Amino acid sequence: MRIFIAFDFDEQIKRDMNKHIVRWRKMASGVKWVGMHGMHLTLKFLGSIGPEKLPLLRATIEKAASHYSPFPIKLKGTGSFPPRSRTPRVLWIGIEAGPTLSSLHTEIETRLARLGFPRESHAFHPHLTLGRVKKSPLPAILTEDFRQYHETVFGETLFRKITIFQSRLSSSGAQYSPLAEADLI
């Protein structure tokens, strides 16, 4: 099973973000835009694991979640990976959450490292992926429009639970299925 751990966004946030994607989709055909079902904040990508590891993984995430209360996040600003590149690979909306999100991420990394999952080699940069660029360079109209939202607040919500997702790859894109959830208390 191909597994990742994430915060899932509420339906209102997904609908609001989708309105922007619909608009940007008209400006560029070379981007694989994320559907509403695929909108989440990845905390940790684990890759392929056997189903026998799922109970231990669930217990680990529940333990981490038990140390945190639901906390607010703000979707703010647009950007890309790599940053400021003329040929970006990923377009995203940033997530501001203060120290709670960073602390929770660090705790999950630490707990999963004890189970043998390698730590990330790059810094945690919370974001909501909007699209993956398949054809560069992007049209100037999209690049300029996207940059105009650099400081825009797109919405706010509370993160209330951590979800373990299974990702299935197909010709139509990745399909995500929740396998387990752990409520922040």
Distance CA 181, CA 81 (A): 29
85-90's contacts with Cβ under 8 Å and 24+ in sequence apart are: 86/136, 86/137, 87/133, 87/136, 87/137, 88/133, 88/136, 88/138, 89/132, 89/133, 90/129, 90/131, 90/132, 90/133
d(CA 152, CA 156): 12
Phi, psi angles (nearest 5°) of residue 28? -155, 130
Given the residues 40, 105, 122, 150, the one annotated as active site: 40
Burial of 85-120, coded b for 16+ CB within 10 Å and e otherwise, reads: eeebebbbbbbebeebbeebbeebbebbeeeebeee
Instruction: Verify whether residue 105 is a known catalytic residue.
Output: no
- Concerning whether 125 is annotated as a catalytic residue, the answer is no
As a whole number of angstroms, the distance between CA 162 and CA 8 comes to 7
| Active-site hit among 20, 37, 122, 127 | 127
The residues that are catalytic are 40, 127
